Structures are given as C-alpha cells and as structure tokens.
Structure 1
Amino acid sequence: MAKAPPNQTREEQLARRRAAEEEALLREVDDAVRQGDMEHFGQRYGKPILALVVVAILAFGGYLFWQARLDGARERNAETLTVALDQIEAGNLQAGADALEDLASNGDGIARVNALLLQGGIASQQGNSERAAELFGEVAEDADAPSILRDVARIRRVAEQYEGMDKAAVVRELAPLAKPGQPFFGSAGELVAMAHLEQGNRREAGALFAEIAKAEDVPDGLRSRARQMAGVLGVDAVVDVEQLLEDQGVEAEVAPPAGQ
C-alpha cells in the first residue's frame, strides 16, 4: 500500500484505505464472475464445439487422404499412358491397345479420354475403321471431355466414316469447325471442301480450298494440296507468288534492265 501524504488527517487516511480495499474486492468479484461465465459457457457449449473441432479435423484428414488417392490415381494413369505410348512408338500396336484397355473401359476424366483417342488411332492404323469411328465417337459425345478433344474426335470419326457417309451430313457435322481461326480449320475444312465437291458444289469447294491455302496456321502440306485443288476449280489461292516459288525451290525470272 502506498504511503499516505504527510498532510492527510486520520479520517482521510481511513477513507483512502477503505477505497483501496473496496477496489481490490471488486476486482476479485469481477474475476470470479468471469471465471463462472467461462465455466457456464464450457458446460453449455463445450461439447458441441469439441464435436465441431473433431469433425473439422476428420474432414481435413479425409481431404488429405482423397488428395493422396487422386495423386496416386494420376500417377498410375500416367504410367499406363506412358507404357502404351512406348509400345506404339516401338510399332507394337496391339500391345499398346491392350495396355490401354482397362483405363479406356474403367477410367474416368481426361485419362480415359486420352486412352480412347489412342485406341482409336491404333484401330485406324490397323485398318479397322469401324472400331476407330466407334472409339472416336465415344469421345465426341462425351459432354465431360474438353471441347478441343471432342473436336479432334469429331474430325477423326468423320474421316474414318467419310466414304460411307452422306456428304451433306459431313458438311453439317464439320461446318462449325471448318472456319478460319478455328483450331482444326485445315483438317475439318479439307473434309468439308471435298464433301462440297462430291455434291457438285464447285464454287463452295473452291472457295474453301482457297481459304485453307491462304491460312498461315495450316500445315504446309495441307496448304499445298488445297492450293492445287483451288487452282483446278478455277480459284486463285496464291497470295504471294514470289514466296510460293521460293517455297517450291523455283527461282523467279528477273526482268532484264530497261533498254535491253
């Protein structure tokens, strides 16, 4: 306790002491009330809060377990695809197809889509167009597959069935993809142009071949074929004559100087 100022009277000293004691008592009472509130809160809400904490911990643990399983599944799928690709590159097509069978039949997600596309490619190389079209069709009709892979599958399915398809159906199926700027404009456009030609639509076929020939993002081999077809149909598809001659290894004739 602090010393009382020397000029305080006895009554003032007693009053100051009582105030200090009352303050200490109030502090003890306040602490006791706070402790009682915490005990009451714990009794009332402790179990529910503990249950929530346990549930949160279990949920987090379940999430980690799920992630681990997904990572493991991804690794297994990647290994399966790698083994299949190794077999395909080695020329063992049937071994590659067999390695993909379980993933294509029972897998899910992008791994299954890739397996189906690879199996379709193998069937095509083996000359089994019907099986190839069936496999590509599974991807083309899979709403969960990435759109760009569905487009690839649509083009490949039509290519496998082209000879037996109604050519108007070919145009309907691939016309949305046979437009400049589309990722597979060249491949889809060539099939649509050929379908137009077989229907007798020479103008549409020639115009589309010319667009393919002028598209800079189309492979050179396909552009060359399209340029030749456009020329046969009477459509000029050459944008830069000098560049074309250079690409074909032909030296352009140099005009003689004036006066000679």
Structure 2
Amino acid sequence: MAIAPQNNQAFLREVDDELRREQLAGFWTRYGRWVLVAVVAGLLAFAGYLYWQHRQNGQADEAAEELTGALRALGEGKAVEAKPKLAALAASPIEGVRAAALLAQAGTLADANDLKGAAALYKKVADDASLAQPYRDVALLRQTTLEFDQLKPDVVVQRLKPLAVAGNPWFGSAGELVAISYLRMKKPELAAPIYGKIAETEELPRTVRSRARQMAGVLGVDAVDQKESAAQ
C-alpha cells in the first residue's frame, strides 16, 4: 500500500519526533542514572561469568568489587565518586569488567548530554573484537542511536540490520531504527514487515508494539494485537 507524499512526510516527522523523545537525549533526561544502572546490571551478569573464568587471577576479585562499587555509586547519583573507578576499570585485562566500565562511562557522558563523547566510547566497545558479542551489540546500538540524526539511512541499516531480527534481544530498538531508515530511503515495502513483526512480538514493551502496529497499518500491514483481538 503506497503512502501519499504529503502523508509520508508527516508520518516521518512524527516518527522522528517520537524517536528523539524516547531514544536520544530525552531517554536519559527522563530515566537518568537508573536506566544506566539497569543496562549495565544485565551486562554485569555476563561479566560475572567472565570473572569466574579469570578468578585464578588475583586481580580479578578486586576488579569485580571495584566495578560493583562504581555501579552502586552511579545508582546513588555519585558520578564524581564513580568516575575515577570507572576510568581505571576501563583498562582492566578482564574483558567483562573492561566492557562494563566503558559502557558505564559512555552512559554517564550521555547523561551529561555529551553525546559525541558517549558515542565515541560506545564505538570503542563496538569495534573491540576481543570483547564478547553481547557487549559489542549493545554498544553499537547505543552509538547508532546517539548518532542517528547525523547518519545516512543506509549506514544505519548496514549497522543494525543484523540486530533487527526477531529473537534478537535488541530487536525492538534496532528494528525501529532500521524501519525508519528504510522509510527515509523511500523503501516502505522494506519497513512495513519490520513494523509488523515488532507489533507481533509479545516480549517487547506494549508502547513499542502499539507504535509499530500503527505504523504497520499506515504501510498496509495488518498487525493486530492478538491478545486485544481475543479479548474483543
């Protein structure tokens, strides 16, 4: 189903505004340090596994404790206290500790509205082939989110297409960015099925699914919420 040019432009503006509010600076403004801690907490579980692998190293125990303390300080709003600890941990030989520290540093920069500095740190993690893929994936997504307005749509697609697939932990966020980029490339036929799949993925937040369902409808894809349909 084709979209009239004027409707398409209005649609893109609405999507862009929503994206900025939810995924760029407004994301950090509204949720602040707690989101940062929540993101890193999930990664910390993986870091714990890596720590177990390295526990024969006498420095691993100290590094893990320092990381926990730094994250706790961030959660309590003590960024000044956490900053030197994170800087030291960012050079740790333990992969999980190093990655978590860099991600936390990037998050604090984004929280302070230093989006360029934050994106640079996320890129450092994303490009580090020595790190486990989960760290690199979340870093690439965060980097791309912060740089979204300055990137050509084909660059966004190239970066995030591997993450914009059902079953990937970052499908919702990456899928929205890729779909918007396809629309900017005037390829609604590629954006529509992504929105449709997001709308059907029950594991994603309801707000994300609802927005995707509306966009899919505009693009001619029937993406009915199965639970709502059953209730009716």
TM-score by shorter chain over 0.5: yes
Q: Which runs of 5+ in 1 are unaligned?
A: 1-66, 253-260
Q: Which runs of 5+ in 2 are unaligned?
A: 1-53
Which secondary structure state, in structure 1, belongs to the residue aligned with residue 90 of structure 2?
Answer: helix
Which of 174, 181, 195 is residue 209 of structure 1 equivalent to? 195
Shift of 1:69: 6.3
Query: Which residue is equivalent to 2:65?
Result: 79
Report the AA paired with residue 122 of structure 1.
Answer: T
Residue 231 of structure 2 is aligned to residue 244 of structure 1: no
Shift of 1:245: 6.2
Report the AA paired with residue 230 of structure 1.
Answer: A
Question: C-alpha offsets along residues 30-64 of structure 1, whole Å, 9 cap, x if unaligned?
Answer: xxxxxxxxxxxxxxxxxxxxxxxxxxxxxxxxxxx
Counterparts of 1:155-174 in structure 2 under 5 Å? Answer: 155-174=141-160
Shift of 1:186: 1.4
Shift of 1:147: 0.9
**Between Structure 1 and Structure 2, how many residues are aligned?**
179
Counterparts of 1:151-190 in structure 2 under 5 Å? Answer: 151-190=137-176
Query: Which residue is equivalent to 2:96?
Result: 110
* 8 A contact 2:55–2:61 mirrored in 1: no
Q: Which has the higher contact order (CA 8 A, sep 6+)?
A: 2
- Separation in 1, partners of 2:92, 2:72: 21
1:98–1:229 Cα change, 3 Å: farther
1:68–1:153 Cα change, 3 Å: closer
Residue 84 of structure 2 is aligned to residue 98 of structure 1: yes
- Separation in 2, partners of 1:123, 1:177: 24
TM-score normalised by length of structure 2: 0.70
- Separation in 1, partners of 2:208, 2:114: 25
Counterparts of 1:124-139 in structure 2 under 5 Å? Answer: 124-139=110-125
Moved more, 107-116 or 164-173: 107-116
Report the AA paired with residue 128 of structure 2.
Answer: D
Which secondary structure state, in structure 1, belongs to the residue aligned with residue 160 of structure 2?
Answer: helix
Residue 186 of structure 2 is aligned to residue 200 of structure 1: yes
- Separation in 1, partners of 2:60, 2:92: 14
- Separation in 2, partners of 1:189, 1:82: 32
* 8 A contact 2:60–2:94 mirrored in 1: no
Report the AA paired with residue 113 of structure 1.
Answer: A
Question: C-alpha offsets along residues 2-49 of structure 1, whole Å, 9 cap, x if unaligned?
Answer: xxxxxxxxxxxxxxxxxxxxxxxxxxxxxxxxxxxxxxxxxxxxxxxx
TM-score normalised by length of structure 1: 0.63
- Separation in 2, partners of 1:148, 1:87: 24
CA RMSD, Structure 1 to Structure 2 (Å): 2.1
Which secondary structure state, in structure 1, belongs to the residue aligned with residue 224 of structure 2?
Answer: coil
- Separation in 2, partners of 1:238, 1:140: 36
- Separation in 1, partners of 2:229, 2:108: 38
Shift of 1:244: 2.2
Shift of 1:99: 2.2
Which secondary structure state, in structure 2, belongs to the residue aligned with residue 105 of structure 1?
Answer: coil
Question: C-alpha offsets along residues 136-188 of structure 1, whole Å, 9 cap, x if unaligned?
Answer: 11111111111111111111111111110111100011111111122321121
State which structure, 1 or 2, has the greater radius of gyration over its C-alpha atoms.
1
Fraction of identical pairs, as percent: 38
Moved more, 105-114 or 208-217: 105-114
- Separation in 2, partners of 1:170, 1:197: 12
- Separation in 2, partners of 1:227, 1:96: 41
